[in-house]
Amino acid sequence: MKQFSSDVLVIGSGPGGAMTACTAAEAGRDVLLVEEGSHHAVDSAPSFSLAEMDQKYRNGGLNVTFGGTSITYLEGRCVGGGSEINAALYHRPLEKTLREWQAQTQIRGFEPEALWPHFEAVEADCNVNLVRGGNGPASALLRRGAGSMGWSTREIARFWNYDGDAPIAGLSRGRQSMTVTLVPRAVRAGARLLPDTRVLRLLRDGKRVTGAVGERTVNGEREKVEFRAKDVFVCAGAVQTPRLLRRSGFTHNVGDTLQLHPMIRITARFREPINDLGYGVPTEQVDQFKPELTLGCSYSSIPHLALWMGASLGNKQARLRDWRRTGIFYVAAVGTGVGRIRDLPLVGEPLIRLPLTTADLARLGEGLLRLGQLLFAAGAEELSSPVDGAPPIRDVAALEGVARVLPQGRMPVSTIHIFSSVPMGEDDARTGTDSFGLVWGCDNLRINDASLFPASPAVNPQGTVLAVARRNVMHFLHG
């Protein structure tokens, strides 16, 4: 069995793990960063392609929760984690959200004014920028439709390095993911990166974790590995972190409070071309109804259009020939359901039970109604229905009929935002860690990813993951 030792063992190289490894290594600590997936260049496959899904997604993107309505979710499984596959949108959470978290689980040192410097550091380190030279016709359409309804919109910044003023310049290489920013910095500071290595179980001796055991794939062959470390950070994401903890005997408030942002997507066809893939992901969002609801538009390639048009929409080939006049639009809601994560040991996959509640369905229905009203106001001729087997929607009256009662189990609901499975705070009856991610009952095991959120951030969580991770590792280093 091959053995590795380090001062700090970081498990998972997504935003939380990359920030942890980089900050600790630059402080002079001996860091080993372990990642289950492989190491791919940011432009190793076209964004949102099948090749990228095969390379960088867990199970090719086919992950699902169980409940009255199944919810598909995405996880990155590569060096850089979710930062390599998401839309790279950046938000700061509302100050109200941070104060609610602080009160909910009694988090020490979590005042917004104490957190803003960490967000500022993330914005500088990861090149958070607005699109230069225009944001594309789909975003313009969203602004126009919202304006006609009297609703506010906002362009969302991205983790992106735009080359010059042309919006399409550098789209394949511009993503400022962890493999471009913090992971290389960590390696330059002396951290060792070990991809293709799955940690199976943490090793525990009383109130300390002494290391971990796992397996590594080298040249197609698996070998057993053992890690020894003075301090361990688990940063494997809101699903894989609690799985590893539970397999290792840590179960107190672990994996019992998973939350997510449920999303529904529809397609809309217009009179004029509105779909220009050269602009990448449209970054305009309707913020009139935040934090409960977000309305926006998605990357709308032909395969994605085919997926979100729904299986029952007739004459799909003809509709796909109109792809330049068609786009994908979404409703994202703050979910109210709380899920549990458990292992299925015989198949090596998680079992996630998470209900889509009546309140969730009502909120998604409200969002669908508002989104459809906006799209018709902007000139849409036809909307696909999110309900399986339902006909296209061609006027507001039909839209109201669909949105009024969304049925359980008859819609493709998805999410890319999952969190809150090992919440932090000083209320140990409700949390899995203290205010800085230290697992209860252990002196040297810490969590530093989206698992720590007490509740929904109500925005894309990557910026918050990075800022909170920076805060926590700085506390670990300096107290």
We report the CATH number of the domain holding residue 375 as 3.30.410
CATH number of the domain that 446 lies in? 3.50.50.60
Confidence tier at 38 by pLDDT (50, 70, 90)? very high
Quick one: tokens of 368?
Answer: 């669908």
pLDDT score at 166: 44
3-state secondary structure of 424: strand
Q: Is 114 exposed, middle or buried (0-12, 13-18, 19+ CB in 10 A)?
A: exposed
Q: Is 94 exposed, middle or buried (0-12, 13-18, 19+ CB in 10 A)?
A: middle
Q: Does 13 reside within a domain?
A: yes
**Same domain for 82 and 158?**
no
Count of structural domains, the chain = 2
Q: Provide the residue type at 409 as one letter.
A: G
pLDDT in tens, 47-98: 778 888 899 999 988 899 999 999 999 999 999 999 999 989 999 999 999 9
This prediction has a pTM of 0.95
Supply the range of the domain harboring residue 389: 136-171+262-415
- In 226-357, which residue ranges form alpha helices assigned H by DSSP? 237-247, 302-309, 316-321
**Same domain for 181 and 167?**
no
**Same domain for 161 and 292?**
yes
Over the chain, what is the mean pLDDT? Answer: 93
> Is the distance from CB of 215 to CB of 222 less than 8 angstroms?
yes
pLDDT score at 27: 98
> Which of these is catalytic: 252, 261, 417, 478?
417
CA distance 235 to 242: 10
**Same domain for 244 and 312?**
no
State which of 415, 450, 468 marks the end of a domain.
Answer: 415
Q: Does 319 reside within a domain?
A: yes
pLDDT at position 171 over 60: no
Q: Does 56 reside within a domain?
A: no
**Same domain for 204 and 143?**
no
CA distance 157 to 138: 16
Reference 54, options 63, 65, 45; nearest CA is: 45
**Same domain for 115 and 211?**
yes
- Known catalytic residue at 252: no
Confidence tier at 461 by pLDDT (50, 70, 90)? very high
> Is the distance from CB of 338 to CB of 258 less than 8 angstroms?
yes
